[in-house]
């Protein structure tokens, strides 16, 4: 490996990579080229920067690595994507040339799984209602009333996980110590695979009907568009919570608004369509909705984990020829 190129604009590189990450690469005996531009690179700029590269680091804001760009780097062996989905940068031309691709999606998804766990706990504990009562009505924990009766502990509750990708698997792993009944919906898994996660593989209708918390962690694909539709929302239990940390398009939001107005269920939404919702949108005013503004994944210091993973991935590839986050073209149609 003789030349490593960072394609992202400087504003992205500085958010994702610590100086020590870049220093470790620079000290490995290679030529390190870091884009110093303050904006996302255009295709023409990417072609200029990539010239002669053996390894390229990409992240948010990088253009598709099309033929005209790749022609400038005939010795390119590896693309390391320090972000989630590689779809914004990869092309069939990459794999046709034998260039390997790695993504930090598994690291990014840890934050999503952790956020899902946190929202599951506070939703079951009825924190949203308790907080408001304690502020305005002198409510306190010893009171026996409707608010207290809606508190549930994790133990013995039923949690539904939709999607067993990186985020879903991490979420299920985090749930293991809590004694929940775990339902899983993912058409790519077998019952034996679900059993290994301590989950019962069920259809989506059954999951929505049985779960106290329904957590959406599936990829955004044509097959998942509005998969949480009016019928499934109506099947949800009285007092259940819908947590969407995937994409807004996976939920029929008009149907969700109608169900929320009935007061039967609650929703914790990290994602919506559009983002952000308009100022007068019901999601902003309904008392049984919590909006978290798309912060479920890596944010602030959490982004440094992506940079570290990508840096370590380079050394794994150089020293052992292996990649922990390799993305194959055959898997793209099931990934976010």
Q: Catalytic residue numbers?
A: 247, 275, 294
Quote the CA–CA distance of 89 and 250 in Å, as a whole number: 23
Distant-in-sequence, close-in-space partners of 174: CB < 8 Å, separation ≥ 6: 113, 114, 116, 117
Q: Let me know: does 49 contact 41? Beta carbons within 8 Å.
A: yes
Backbone angles phi, psi at 39, to 5 degrees: -125, 170
Q: How far apart are alpha carbons 310 and 25 in whole angstroms?
A: 11
**Residues 274, 5: Cα–Cα separation, whole Å:** 34
| φ, ψ dihedrals at 265, nearest 5° | -130, 170
Check if the beta carbon of residue 317 is closer than 8 Å to that of residue 23.
no
Please say whether the beta carbons of 327 and 86 come within 8 A: yes
The CA R_g of the chain, rounded to the nearest whole Å, is 22
Q: Are strands 181-185 and 31-34 parallel, antiparallel or unpaired?
A: unpaired
Task: Give the C-alpha distances (Å, rounded to integers) separating 319 from 1, 28, 276.
Answer: 11, 11, 44
Q: Are 87 and 109 in contact (CB under 8 A)?
A: no
Using CA atoms, how far apart are residues 316 and 81, in angstroms rounded to an integer?
15
Measured between its terminal Cα atoms, the distance across the chain in Å is 31
Q: In terms of Cα–Cα distance, which of 48, 46, 47 is closest to 59?
A: 46
Residue 189 CB neighbour total at 10 angstroms: 17
């Amino acid at each position: 490996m003789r030349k490593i190129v960072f394609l992202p604009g400087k504003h992205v590189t500085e958010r994702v990579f610590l100086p020590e990450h870049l220093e470790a690469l620079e000290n490995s005996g290679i030529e390190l080229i870091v884009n110093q531009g303050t904006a996302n690179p255009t295709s023409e700029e990417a072609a200029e920067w990539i010239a002669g590269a053996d390894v390229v680091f990409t992240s948010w804001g990088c253009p598709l690595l099309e033929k005209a760009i790749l022609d400038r780097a005939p010795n390119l062996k590896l693309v390391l994507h320090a972000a989630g989905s590689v779809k914004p940068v990869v092309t069939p031309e990459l794999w046709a040339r034998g260039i390997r691709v790695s993504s930090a999606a598994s690291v990014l998804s840890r934050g999503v799984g952790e956020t899902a766990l946190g929202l599951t706990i506070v939703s079951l504990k009825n924190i949203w209602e308790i907080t408001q009562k304690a502020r305005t009505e002198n409510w306190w924990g010893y009171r026996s009333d409707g608010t207290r009766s809606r508190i549930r502990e994790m133990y013995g509750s039923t949690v539904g996980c939709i999607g067993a990708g990186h985020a879903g698997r991490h979420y299920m792993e985090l749930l293991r110590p809590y004694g929940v009944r775990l339902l899983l919906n993912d058409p790519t898994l077998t019952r034996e695979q679900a059993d290994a996660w301590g989950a019962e593989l069920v259809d989506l209708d059954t999951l929505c009907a049985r779960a106290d918390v329904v957590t959406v962690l599936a990829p955004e694909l044509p097959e998942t568009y509005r998969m949480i539709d009016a019928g499934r929302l109506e099947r949800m239990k009285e007092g259940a919570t819908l947590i969407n940390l995937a994409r807004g398009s996976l939920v029929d939001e008009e149907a969700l608004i109608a169900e929320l107005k009935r007061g039967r269920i609650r929703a914790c939404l990290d994602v919506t369509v559009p983002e952000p919702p308009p100022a007068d949108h019901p999601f902003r005013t309904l008392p049984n909705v919590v909006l978290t503004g798309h912060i479920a994944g890596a944010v602030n210091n959490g982004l440094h984990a992506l940079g570290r993973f990508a840096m370590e991935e380079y050394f794994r590839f150089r020293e052992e020829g292996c990649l922990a986050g390799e993305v194959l073209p055959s898997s793209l149609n099931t990934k976010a």
